[in-house]
Every structure is written in C-alpha cells, then in structure tokens.
Amino acid sequence: CVGQPVPALTATGTNIRWYSDAALTNSVGSGSPFTPTIDNTVAGTTTFYITQTVGTCQSPATVVTVTYNLSPAVPTISGTLEICTGGNTTLASSATTGNQWFLNGNPIAGATNATLTVSAAGGYTVQVSSSGCSATSAVASVVVADPAAPAANSPAPICVGGAVPTLTATGSNIRWYSDVSLSTLVGSGDSFVPTVNNTVAGTTTFYATQTVGTCESPATAVAVTVVAAPTTPVVSGTLTFCSGGS
C-alpha cells in the first residue's frame, strides 16, 4: 500500500542480476535479496527483470512486479450513539463496500455490511479494505442509558375543600402522567400542580418519570389524597345550673 516500506525482492539462481527494462540494458542491482528504489508515495506498478549467469551464459529474464495500491479513504461512522435499555441503534459506514465491523477491537463475525444494528455498549470501529489495503475509522462509543425513576413523595392528605398541593420530583426532564401506562401526559417540570377534584374524598395517582438523553425512566407513583372533614361535633348536657352547683 502507498506509504509502506519497499519490499526486498528475492530470486534463486547463480550470479543474479536485476534490470529495470525488458531489453536488459539497465542493470539496477545484483544478488538476492535486492531492495529496489521505488517511489512508495504514489500508486503504480514497477517491473524488474531478473537473470542468472552460469559461466559466461546469461539466462532469459524472470519478470517481477512491485505494485503500490492506494489505501481507501478513512471511513466515518454515523448514527445515534445512545440507546435505551432493551433498545438498539443502527451505525452506518461511509463506505458502501469492503467493510468489517469491530467491537472493542475484536472483529464481529459476519458484520461486513455498510450498516450495523447494535444493542450492546462499547467502542465500535469499521475497517474498509480495498486491493489489499485498509483504513480504520475512529472509535464510535455506544452507551446504554438506564435512568432510574425520579425521587418523589406523596404529599400529606388534604381535607375536602383544601388547596391542591404542588407535586415535586427530582430528576432530569420530569414528566407527569395520569395513568400507569404513561400514555396521558398532564404536566412537566420538577414542580407540578395537578388538576384534582378537591370537593369529594378520594385518591388521585400521578406518575412521574425522568428522561436522560432519549431514554425515559420507569415511573414513580405520587398520590394526592382528599379526605372528608369530620362531622361537626354536638355538645349535649344541662346548660344551666345553680350557684355553687355544677
């Protein structure tokens, strides 16, 4: 490949001579091994002709070529590098052919397409080969995000007619839902004043999640409980009494 050291050439015979032309007029070396002078910075093929001489007789020449191929362009990897637990992402090589994918420096068996679907964290690279030369991409580090449920507590119960409390949760990008399946979003943010019917006793449950990157956590349940006020007490007994009595 372009840039690699010029190889030493070898031949078996007696009184080996090396020529740069088929007419055998330009001798460039003798003996074996022989390291030719070649410009290894450009692609191309250089031909040498080898003879042996026995006594005073020179043999016909054997042709040997040294070929320098261009290395392929260094590939790049594109795609989402953060995935959620249980999910996956697709990485894509900038090269359409000649790919071999690696995980943490180890080749992935059968992974030779231009794209690779991954579900495991680690450092992914892709090596592109062409004409015996190769180039390797920079490492693409895939991480698996697994955010925990946010910290949140249910407020103290309120009495019928009382003010609905503000709910709070600690985490990133807090979302509030009214159902355990997390399909009905009713609010967002660390603080949230829910819509609760405070005119009747009962419990309304909300579900808070946090989102880190593109991954949403499991939910923390937060309950708002409205309790009925106690009945007004009635005082009974004799309300008048004589002086000195009780």
| The two three-digit tokens of residue 204, written as one number | 């309304």
The amino acid present at 39, given as its one-letter code, is D
- The whole-angstrom separation of Cα 233 and Cα 84 is 57
Phi-psi domain of 112 (left: phi exceeds 0; alpha: psi -120 through 50; beta: other)? alpha
Tell me the C-alpha distance between 223 and 160, whole Å: 15
The strand pairing partners of 70, in sequence order, are: none
Confidence of residue 233 (pLDDT cuts 50, 70, 90): confident
> What is the pLDDT at residue 152?
96
pLDDT in tens, 174-232: 999 999 999 999 999 999 999 999 999 999 999 999 999 889 999 999 999 999 977 77
**In this structure, what are the phi and psi dihedrals at residue 85, rounded to the nearest 5 degrees?**
-55, 130
Cα–Cα distance for residue pair 208/174, rounded to 1 Å: 7
For residue 246, pLDDT beyond 70:
no
* Average predicted confidence (pLDDT) for the chain: 94
Here the tokens at position 104 are: 């943490």
> pLDDT tens across 101-155, in order?
999 999 999 999 999 999 999 999 999 999 899 999 999 999 998 999 999 999 9
Query: By percentage, how much of the chain surpasses pLDDT 90?
Result: 88
The number of beta carbons lying within 10 Å of the beta carbon of residue 104 is 11
